[in-house]
Amino acid sequence: MKRQLQIVLGILITFVAVAIVFHSCKPGKEAVKSEAVEAALATYVPPGDLDEFYLFYSGGHSGNIFVAGIPSMRHICTIPVFTPYPSTGYGFDAETKKMLGGYTWGDAHHPALSETNGDYDGRWLFINDNANNRIARIDLKDFKVKQILGPIPNLSGNHGSTFVTENTEYVTIATRFSVPIPKGTYVPVEEYAKKYHGIVALVEVDPKTGEMRMDEKHGFQVLMPPFNFDLGDAGKGPSHGWVFWTCYNSERATGILEITASQNDRDYIAAVNWKKAEEYLKQGKYKIINGVRVIDPKEAPGVVYLMPCAKSPHGVDVSPDGKWIVGSGKLQSITTVYNFEKMLKAIENKDFVGEEDGIPVLRYESVREAEVPVGLGPLHTQFDDKGYAYTSLFVESAIAKWKLGTWEVVDKIPIAYNIGHLCVPEGDTKHPAGKYVIALNKLSHGRHLTVGPSQPEASQLIDITGEKMKLLYDAFTEPEPHYAQAIRADKLKDKVIEVYQKGIDNKDPNAIWDEKDAKVVRKGNTVEVWMIAVRSRFQPWKIEVNQGDKVIIHLTNIEQTTDELHGFAICEYDINVVVDPGETKTIEFVANKPGVYPFYCTNFCSALHQEMQGYLLVKPKGGAGVAQK
Ligand code: K7E
Ligand code: CUA
């Protein structure tokens, strides 16, 4: 009884204390607090629960892709693409090493999920390497890179990619830089305006396998004036068959571009009719340059048109219904909406105001539908499911929300700080999911615990379900997400595998599944090993070779249980691979250092993980048994 009284008294005192504290708070603070609670609840994914969307961020010059969940914004994994990544052993085994082609990094900007009928189909994810003119394809079945195409001939600065067409017929590309074509030719830079060229290119994608091809029979390029092409987007619905790219430096200038390339009041959006281009290809109206088909617009009328756009544009984005093309001049305070139908009419009426290297320039007033006063420094636009557009404003450090059709700006939210791209889940499809916009920001200062001068990048999750946008969450990544795409998680649920099933997913001819088949075979100076990894041993656990031998190890993780990864590292041989359950990887190296080198498992796999080890014994040159000095 006494104890009960004590408890009741205790509760009462707590109530009074809380009431006093609350009472003394300013109402402003209270409102802030309830907003924070609301935001916290909106992003909270309880332990064990799953996020609604996958977010695939490009990793910029890290050469990777970061995967996070929405709305939690928690980083789930990193997909190494253009850069070796010890965590997964990427770039250490023979296959991925070959795929990287000797490059140790890439500059990944724009991930693009494959589409069927203009919607993400959850099959593949493409991403560009701006620096080394490559494109990678990730299979979303296992979140691994299956192909890196390139360096692609004639491309210089693969920035304006990898926007896919409505049915992933093509991965599209425009070059940021212009160089003499064929690439590899020397021409003095003084002759830039006449003899250098930009390129737009369409890489063909095999509809069954996703294999990307650009050669004398597949894909094609279009020779363009020496502008700097920037961003693009493929048409959809009525504009299917077209791709649009912004370009700056219509001045064809060199030197200090921030001055020399900002002279003209307008630059362009290039509209490329790829269906028309396909007709010319069929007629053989192209040249083979550096092993790929190149169309010259001078000889192929109707393939390219230029639409004047506000000075130095960056982003161009096609609305979900395919009717509107939004192009933003980053030095202006408006974004321009072009009407696709009007564009077709202007083409039909030959409503041109000039030409550039034989490419007609359409009259601005005839193709423009509206100039939306979004604010300072517009870059990129995304769309939601309710007919609104969201434009990032770099200079103003904000997002403007505006309505398609009425073109009025209805809301604005400040961003911390200086937003680049933005992403609405399923935002580049015919059916955006809406709900959120993720701001991908260039600066993060002061928003996180200090980590010294090398600061992370910030992204912010914003609720767009209401009339007013609401900031929910700050998240940080390593440099440097340029763009991101997000897909409904349930689209991948039944597609993703967690184990490579023996004989089904793993068809490697060098896979072995039984310890009895483990062996070491010598052929001349090559020692080939078939090895298994299983909790918690390697078999064979001993590899004896002579100094100078070539060693090939085919390592199969014979586990068929999810999450049972094993690693394989050889001390001081710079060898480090990871084999997922049911996976086989091949490791090749020359045993050039004599002595005894332990190898071990790097992934903590069982209570006896530490025991999972063995030896590489390298007999020194000059005969077996000679001791190492
Ligand atoms: Cu950073 Cu798309 Cu390469 Cu804009 S790009 S911000
Ligand atoms: Cu296998 Cu640790």
Average pLDDT over residues 427-433: 98
pLDDT digits (tens, 9 = 90+) for 393-408: 999 999 999 999 999 9
Q: Is the pLDDT of residue 10 over 90?
A: no
Q: Is the pLDDT of residue 15 over 50?
A: no
Written as six digits, the tokens of 160 are: 């304006």
Average pLDDT over residues 506-513: 97
Q: Is the pLDDT of residue 13 over 60?
A: no
Q: Is the pLDDT of residue 26 over 70?
A: no
* Residue of the CA atom closest to atom 2 of ligand 1: 482
Interval between CA 125 and ligand 1 midpoint (Å): 18
CA distance 346 to 126: 34
pLDDT (0 to 100) of residue 518: 98
Q: Is the pLDDT of residue 25 over 60?
A: no
pLDDT (0 to 100) of residue 263: 81
pLDDT digits (tens, 9 = 90+) for 28-54: 888 889 999 999 999 999 999 999 999
Q: Is the pLDDT of residue 141 over 50?
A: yes
**Is residue 390 reached through a cis peptide bond, with omega within 30 degrees of 0 on the bond before it?**
no
DSSP H or E stretch at residue 179? strand 179-180
Predicted structure pTM score: 0.93
Average pLDDT over residues 6-17: 47
* Residue of the CA atom closest to atom 1 of ligand 2: 566
CA distance 557 to 396: 53
Cβ(483) to ligand 1 under 6 A? yes
CB–CB of 599/624 below 8 Å?
no
Cβ(484) to ligand 1 under 6 A? no
**Whole-number average pLDDT of the chain:** 94
Cβ(412) to ligand 1 under 6 A? no
Q: Is the pLDDT of residue 576 over 90?
A: yes
Average pLDDT over residues 97-108: 98
pLDDT digits (tens, 9 = 90+) for 309-343: 988 999 999 999 999 999 998 888 999 999 999 99
Q: Is the pLDDT of residue 446 over 90?
A: no
CA angle 271/273/279 to nearest 5° reads 160
Q: Where are the alpha helices (DSSP H) in 148-262?
A: 192-195, 257-260
pLDDT digits (tens, 9 = 90+) for 236-271: 999 999 999 999 999 999 998 888 887 888 899 999
Query: For ligand 1, what atom is nearest to the CA of residue 130?
Result: 3
Average pLDDT over residues 194-216: 98
CA distance 313 to 54: 29
Q: Is the pLDDT of residue 362 over 80?
A: yes
121 or 329: which leads in pLDDT: 121
